[in-house]
Amino acid sequence: MNIALGIPKERANDERRVSLSPAGVKILNENGVRVLIEKNAGLASNFTDEEYAEAGGYITDSQETLYENANVIVKVSPPQPQEAALFKPNQMLISALHLGTVNKSLINSFLEKNITALGFEFIETRDGELPIVRTLSEIAGSLAIQTAAKYLETGYGGRGILLGGIAGVPPAHITIIGAGTVGLFAAQDALGLGAQVTVIDKEINRLRRFEAFFNRHIVTAISNEHYISELARISDVMIGALSPKQKVIKHVVNENIIKTMRPGSVIIDVSIDQGACFATSRHTTHTNPIFVKHGVTHYCVPNIPSAVARTASFALTNTLLPFLMKLTAHETITEILWNSHSLRKGTYTFKGYVTQKSLAQITDLPCREIDMLLATG
């Protein structure tokens, strides 16, 4: 397939990342892929247009020109409503989808235009790994601890607690809900700073792996209302880090439990992309990241890795490149998907149908199995 790959400037609220770094553009260019970059697309990640041009990219003056001349669009955040009209029939899109805030009209426009759309949340390797989600989750887990440390400070209305404490003064207690990648990196950073850490999850085998990994330096508990209630009363920080494999996440901490948390405590809801871990959570932004409810500071920013846009853009490039290279191996989109398990699993609209059951349930749109659509040619 002759690829003209377009990298638009992100227009979602406070989204500072870019889908490919200049180094990624250079690799694609060397492998025969024409890459178009909208002017200033990488500026918020400190990548200049000159760097992209030197890497072999073509700088376009407008969003319209980029969409007109590219047959594959690669973004970070889901397209905004104003971007939907720019898509041409039969294009391919690769980006995040964010099931927690999915736009039905956008999906309908994809179906009408026969857009083949792939979501970061769905791209899966044969061993069940979600490589793009994992990369971004590693960043989100580490940032959750940095963020918690900041909002525990007195100046931000927190309890005035140093995460690791000092000699004679006990450290903060952090409860992490979810023993996945976010939870792993959050626990690792919290322990590194000297905090007390409890990890809860509904799967005992996940907790066993955590105990072994951290050599029993953390406390683990099964996720149920009893343990959550007990931990809420003693925790300075609670982090929602439920597994993205659930696709659509429902809260596991109810409002009555949150009311028992001590004033100045902090909630970091990393799960907000796919729903919410806490009943009181609502979307916030990097510009206005927090709100206080029941005396508890809530941080519920969906695109947490955007806070470190340059690191996140490099990480995204590293993970995306192998999949983008697969686009060059075959002549048609059908052949590409048929021959790539990961890209096939990642597809959520194809040939005018939704191909992910979780998305079909949210949007009430008809669903067809991707394998069936591919088999019919």
Q: Catalogue the active-site residues.
A: 98, 273
Length of the chain: 377
| CB 334 within 8 Å of CB 371 | no
Q: How many CB atoms lie within 10 A of CB 341?
A: 13
| CB 296 within 8 Å of CB 266 | yes
Three-state DSSP class for residue 269: strand
| CB 105 within 8 Å of CB 345 | no
Q: Which helix (H) or strand (E) holds 303?
A: none
CA distances from 28 to 39, 178, 291, 323 (A): 19, 37, 43, 11
- Whose tokens are 């109810």? That residue is 254
Cα(302)–Cα(299) distance, integer angstroms? 9
Beta strands in 187-325 (DSSP E): 196-201, 219-222, 237-240, 266-269, 290-293, 296-299
Cα(19)–Cα(316) distance, integer angstroms? 6
Cα(13)–Cα(98) distance, integer angstroms? 14
For residue 238, what are the β-bridge partners? 175, 267
With a CB cutoff of 8 Å and minimum separation 6, the contacts of 288 are none
